[in-house]
Amino acid sequence: MFALTILGNNSAIPAFDRNPTAQLLQTLDDSYLIDCGEGTQMQMIKYKVKHSKINHIFISHLHGDHYFGLIGLLSTMSLLGRTNDLHLYAPERLKDIIKLQLDVADSTLCFPLHFHAITNEGLILDDKKVTVSCFGMQHRIECWGFLFKEKKNPRKINSERANAYEIPASFYDNLHKGEDYINKKGTIIPNSEVTDPATPARSYAYCADTIYDEALADKIKGVGLMYHETTYLKIDHEKATARFHSTTVQAAEIAKKAGVKKLLIGHFSSRYETLDQFHTEASSVFPETELALEGICYNCP
Amino acid sequence: MFALTILGNNSAIPAFDRNPTAQLLQTLDDSYLIDCGEGTQMQMIKYKVKHSKINHIFISHLHGDHYFGLIGLLSTMSLLGRTNDLHLYAPERLKDIIKLQLDVADSTLCFPLHFHAITNEGLILDDKKVTVSCFGMQHRIECWGFLFKEKKNPRKINSERANAYEIPASFYDNLHKGEDYINKKGTIIPNSEVTDPATPARSYAYCADTIYDEALADKIKGVGLMYHETTYLKIDHEKATARFHSTTVQAAEIAKKAGVKKLLIGHFSSRYETLDQFHTEASSVFPETELALEGICYNCP
C-alpha cells in the first residue's frame, strides 16, 4: 500500500465545503501527514484517519492554510495520551510558534516532539520502508516540496523452487537482495531461478505552493504520482503569477516535462465554485490528470 | 434582537460532530463574537454568519479550544478585503501570537486591528446600544467572563398624544429620557402622559472555563441569560475540580444563586457521546436550563 488521501484541497479561504490543504500518505505500516490546514483534525475524524499511526508530519511553508491546524492536532494528540515520538519537518520558525502557544496555555505535550528544521534540499527522513527528501519551491516565502520514495523492494522468493534446490532459510535475506546461491557441491543456483522480480518501488512528489517553475521538473523526474497546486484556471494566469501560484495548464506542463505517471491537482481558489474546468484544462495538456478531492484515496501508480 | 448563536459547544477535543467553543451574540445592528476555537470560520459558513457584521471579538483565555480559530478568521477577513476596524479583547499575550504568525507569513492584515489587552475587571466596551464588562474566572490560567448589557432603552413616545399637547419634535429626546414637558403657559405635561415604558434592557453573561466558584454569582446577579461551562457530569466532579472545570449541578447552583432567568450549558467533554444527562442533571437543580446546541439561536429573556 502506498496511497494518498486528501483531507483538504482548497487554498487560503475555506469555501464550498472545501478545506485548506492537508494530505495523508499511507503505507502498510505508517502514515505521513503532509501540511495541516485549519480543521485537519476534524477532517481526520470525518474520514476515519487514526492519528496514532502518524509519526511524521511535514509542513511545506508557514502560510496559514498549510499549518493553522497543526497546534490543535498536537494538543489533541497530547490530551488523548499519546506517548510515541512525533517528528515534525518544517521551516524553522514554526518551532517558535508552537513554543509560544504552549507557553501561554501553561501546557506541555505529553509525548516527545522532535522538531527538524528544514534548511537545505536533500534527504530529511530515512524510514524503514520509505525515504523522504525535500526540494525548494518558488513561492512568496520559504516553501518546500516533499518527495516520498519507497525503498527498493526485496525480490520475492519462490519457496517451492528454493526448497527443491535445498537452499537453507538462513540464506533467504541474501536471495531477497538478488544474490546467487552456491551449494555444497559448488554448483551455482542463479538467483533468478528461485526468486521473482520485486514490486517496483513507488514514489510521490508533493509540490506545494509555487509560481510556474520549469526547474521543478528535474527535481521530480519520473515519479509515479505528482501533486501540483493549481490555484487558478488558465484565464487567471496573471493573478497566478502575481501571487506566486500556478494555473491548471502550468501544472500539467510540469507533469509532462517531468514525465510523471499521474498528476493530481488541488489548492483551488475559493473564487471557483465548481472544479470541472480545472480537470478539463489540465488534462488537455496532460491526460493522466485527476482532481484532488477530499476524502478520496489515490493509489500511487 | 438580542440573541445568542452557538457555533461550537465542545471542550478541548472535537468529537461527535461537536466543535470547540465559539458563540455569536447578535443585536439588530451588531454581532459580537465570543471565543473562536479551531474551525469557527467553517462553522460561520455552515450557519450563514456574515463576518462583515462582526466588529468586536472577545477571547476568554489562551487555551487553544477558545482561540485556535482566530488567526484563520482574521486572515480570511483580510483576504476578503475587509477595511472596517476590528476590535479584539483578550489576554495580553494573544497579541504576540498574532504578530508572530503574521510575521512568519510575511503578511499584514488589510484592516485596522485594535488589540485591547484585558488586565482588570470592569467595563471594556461602551458601544452604541450595548456595554460589555469583563470579570475574572477561576481557571488554570488567566481567564475572563464577559457581561453584555443592552443600554437602557428609551421610553416610547406616543406621537398622537404628544401632538395633542403640542410638544415640539425638538423635545422628543428629552421625552425619551423620561423628562416632563412644560408648555408656554407653564403647565407641566407629565412624561407618563405622552410616553410608554421602555422595553426592559436585556443581558447575557458568558462564564468561560472555571472551577466551581460561588463568588461568580455576585458578578452576574440577575442577568437574563447566563452561559456556564459544564465540562463534566455530576459523577465526574473530582475530575472537574482537578482540571479547574465545573459539573452540571455546579453550574446550576451558580445560576440559582445568581437568580438568572435562563441557564445555557456547554463546553462538553469529548468523553460523553450524548448530552441528555447534562440537561437532566442541571435542570434538576435549575429548571430553566437549556443545552447549548450548535447552530441554534437562543433569545435572551
B124-181: per-residue pLDDT in tens? 999 999 999 999 999 999 999 999 999 988 899 999 999 999 999 999 999 998 999 9
Whole-number average pLDDT of chain B? 95
Q: Where are the alpha helices (DSSP H) in A28-117?
A: 40-46, 70-79, 94-104
**Chain B interface residues facing chain A, Cβ-Cβ under 8 Å?**
12-15, 19, 38-39, 41-42, 45, 62-65, 68-69, 71-72, 75-76, 79-80, 91, 93-94, 96-97, 100-101, 104-107, 140-141
A170 min Cα distance to partner chain B (Å)? 50
> Using one digit for the tens of pLDDT, what is the confidence trace for A226-266?
999 999 999 999 999 999 999 999 999 999 999 999 999 99
- Check residue A136 and give its pLDDT: 97
State the sign of the Cα–Cα–Cα–Cα dihedral B72, B73, B77, B80.
positive
B100 vs A38, A80, A100: nearest CB? A100
B156 min Cα distance to partner chain A (Å)? 44
Determine whether the interchain pair A14/B41 forms a contact, defined as Cβ–Cβ distance below 8 Å: yes
B7 min Cα distance to partner chain A (Å)? 14
Q: What angle do CA A210, A15, B74 make, to 5 degrees?
A: 80
- Check residue A130 and give its pLDDT: 95
**CA separation for the pair B194, A111 (Å, rounded):** 71
pLDDT beyond 90 at A117: yes
Closest CA to A146 of A162, A165, A130, A158: A130
pLDDT beyond 90 at B274: yes
Name chain B contacts of A107, Cβ cutoff 8 Å. 63
Determine whether the interchain pair A64/B75 forms a contact, defined as Cβ–Cβ distance below 8 Å: yes
Number of C-beta neighbours around residue A56 at 10 A? 22
B79 vs A12, A41, A97: nearest CB? A12
pLDDT beyond 90 at A198: no
- Taken as a whole, chain A contains a residue count of 301
Once rounded to an integer, what is the mean pLDDT over residues A74-101? 97
Nearest residue on chain B to A37, alpha-carbon basis: B72
What's the gap between Cα B270 and its chain centre?
24
Once rounded to an integer, what is the mean pLDDT over residues B222-250? 97
Top residue of B16, B42, B110 to mutate, by most chain A CBs within 10 Å, is B42
Name chain B contacts of A42, Cβ cutoff 8 Å. 14, 19, 38-39
- Check residue B152 and give its pLDDT: 82
Whole-number average pLDDT of chain A? 95
- Check residue A301 and give its pLDDT: 86
Nearest residue on chain B to A62, alpha-carbon basis: B105
Once rounded to an integer, what is the mean pLDDT over residues B34-61? 96
ipTM of the complex model? 0.89
From first CA to last CA, the distance across chain B in angstroms is 11
- Check residue B28 and give its pLDDT: 87
- The CA distances from residue B1 to B25, B292, B298, in Å, are 10, 19, 11
- Check residue A152 and give its pLDDT: 83
- The CA distances from residue A270 to A20, A132, A292, in Å, are 10, 31, 15
pTM of the model: 0.90
Once rounded to an integer, what is the mean pLDDT over residues B21-50? 95
- Check residue B116 and give its pLDDT: 98
Beta strands in chain A (DSSP E): 2-8, 22-27, 31-36, 54-58, 86-90, 113-117, 122-126, 130-136, 144-150, 156-157, 181-182, 188-189, 195-196, 203-207, 225-229, 262-266, 289-291, 297-299
- Check residue B198 and give its pLDDT: 86
The cell for A175 is 536471495
A68 vs B45, B71, B79: nearest CB? B71
Listed in sequence order, the residues at least 6 apart from A68 whose beta carbon sits closer than 8 Å to its beta carbon are: A20, A36, A37, A38, B38, B68, B71, B72
pLDDT beyond 90 at A15: no
Closest CA to B13 of A47, A75, A37, A51: A75
Once rounded to an integer, what is the mean pLDDT over residues B175-202? 92
- Check residue A200 and give its pLDDT: 84
Determine whether the interchain pair B97/A96 forms a contact, defined as Cβ–Cβ distance below 8 Å: no
- Check residue B9 and give its pLDDT: 95
